[in-house]
């Protein structure tokens, strides 16, 4: 299916980063953070009440992601983009992950549906800042004018970026092959993406070691780890090749 596809959409979730040892949202709440609840760390209200603690937690997660490396699953997805691009076929990767590993692996056509730990923005102007030093030296971090920065991630109760949703909808409407990889398929709107792809006439494939609510509806449910099976799928579709990142920033 991948070898023949013309317009491919891939949705990824935390499972793709599991093999890079990125702590999931829940895992990141252990140790020092075990006494906090998600409402206090991942909501606008939690940030308003205690910006110091919230930004410390996101900075801790940002540093964990910087320490992590893309795994064979990420690298295989980067090769899929390269192979399809070289055949003038469409590819887009929609991710719920905020860890930036897809871009570091070499993917360029990436929509970060839930934002990124590497993007912080001014709470007053919305101006975005990237490549900030880690760790910050004050919490919350501030702009030169002294205004607070917040992490550029989507918190519970917040809308996803409208342009991300629009792009996702357009590409799903036109796709002929859809992969759902490493996501529990329970958080909307991403949970509805495989239905949208199917409605557009696409073949649908899930890669996940466990069953999810999407498993019964997809054309192929591949019960395996992304890092184990994606390199095999890519090799079957495109032959043995170079899986190394292209010009990633390491």
Q: Which is nearer to ligand OAD, 7 or 103 (CB)?
A: 103
SS3 28: helix
Query: Which residues in the 86-105 window bind ligand OAD by CB under 6 A?
Result: 96
- Return the range that interacts with ligand OAD (CB under 6 A); candidates 28-36, 120-128, 137-145, 220-228: 220-228
> Could you give the CA distance from residue 43 to residue 29 in angstroms, rounded to a whole number?
15
**Among the listed residues 8, 15, 41, 25, the one whose alpha carbon sits nearest the alpha carbon of residue 150:** 41
Instruction: Respond yes or no: is residue 102 known to be catalytic.
Output: no
If binding is defined by CB under 6 A, does position 15 make contact with ligand OAD? yes
The tokens of 89 are what? Answer: 């076929």
Binding of ligand OAD by 72 (CB under 6 A): no
Of 181, 173, 157, the C-alpha closest to 16 is: 181
Q: Which is nearer to ligand OAD, 13 or 70 (CB)?
A: 13
Which of 7, 9, 19, 205 binds ligand OAD (CB under 6 A)? It is 19
Q: How far is the CB of 87 from ligand OAD (least distance, A)?
A: 26
Containing 93, the helix (H) or strand (E) segment is strand 90-95
Q: Specify the stretch interacting with ligand OAD by CB under 6 A; choose among 9-17, 101-109, 125-133, 135-143.
A: 9-17
Is 183 a binder of ligand OAD (CB under 6 A)? Answer: yes
Of residues 210, 17, 200, the one with CA closest to residue 114:
17
Helical H segments across the chain, by residue range: 14-18, 38-41, 44-49, 51-67, 72-86, 101-105, 162-174, 193-199, 226-238
Beta bridge partners of 222: 207
Choose the stretch contacting ligand OAD; rule: CB under 6 A; options: 7-15, 48-56, 118-126, 138-146: 7-15
Candidate list 83, 204, 212, 231; residue touching ligand OAD; CB under 6 A: 212
Among residue numbers 97 through 156, which ones bind ligand OAD (CB under 6 A)?
Answer: 114, 154
Q: Which residues contact 33 (CB under 8 A, 6 or more apart)?
A: 41, 57, 60
- Beta carbon nearer to ligand OAD, 18 or 234: 18
By CB under 6 A, which span of 10-18, 29-37, 47-55, 124-132 interacts with ligand OAD?
A: 10-18
What is the C-alpha separation between 95 and 42, in angstroms, rounded? 18
Q: Annotated active-site positions, please?
A: 114
- Footprint of ligand OAD (CB under 6 A): 13-15, 18-19, 24-25, 96, 114, 154, 182-184, 187, 207-210, 212, 225-227
């Amino acid at each position: 299916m991948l070898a023949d596809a013309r317009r491919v959409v891939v949705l990824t979730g935390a499972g793709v980063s599991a093999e890079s040892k990125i702590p999931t949202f829940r895992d990141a709440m252990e140790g020092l953070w075990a006494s906090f609840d998600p409402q206090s760390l991942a909501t606008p209200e939690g940030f308003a009440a205690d910006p110091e603690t919230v930004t410390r937690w996101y900075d801790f997660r940002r540093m964990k992601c910087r320490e992590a490396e893309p795994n064979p699953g990420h690298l295989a997805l980067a090769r899929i983009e390269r192979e399809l691009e070289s055949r003038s076929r469409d590819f887009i990767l929609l991710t719920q992950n905020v860890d930036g590993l897809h871009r570091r692996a070499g993917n360029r056509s990436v929509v970060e549906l839930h934002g990124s730990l590497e993007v912080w923005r001014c709470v007053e102007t919305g101006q975005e800042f990237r490549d900030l030093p880690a760790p910050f030296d004050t919490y919350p971090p501030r702009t030169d004018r002294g205004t607070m920065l917040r992490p550029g991630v989507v918190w519970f109760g917040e809308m996803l970026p409208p342009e991300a949703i629009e792009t996702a909808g357009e590409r799903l409407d036109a796709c002929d092959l859809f992969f759902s990889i490493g996501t529990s398929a329970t958080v909307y709107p991403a949970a509805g993406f495989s239905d949208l792809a199917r409605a557009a006439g696409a073949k649908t494939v899930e890669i996940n070691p466990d069953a999810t609510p999407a498993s019964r509806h997809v054309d192929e449910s591949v019960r395996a780890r992304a890092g184990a099976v994606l390199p095999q799928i890519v090799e079957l579709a495109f032959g043995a090749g170079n899986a190394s990142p292209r010009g990633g920033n390491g």
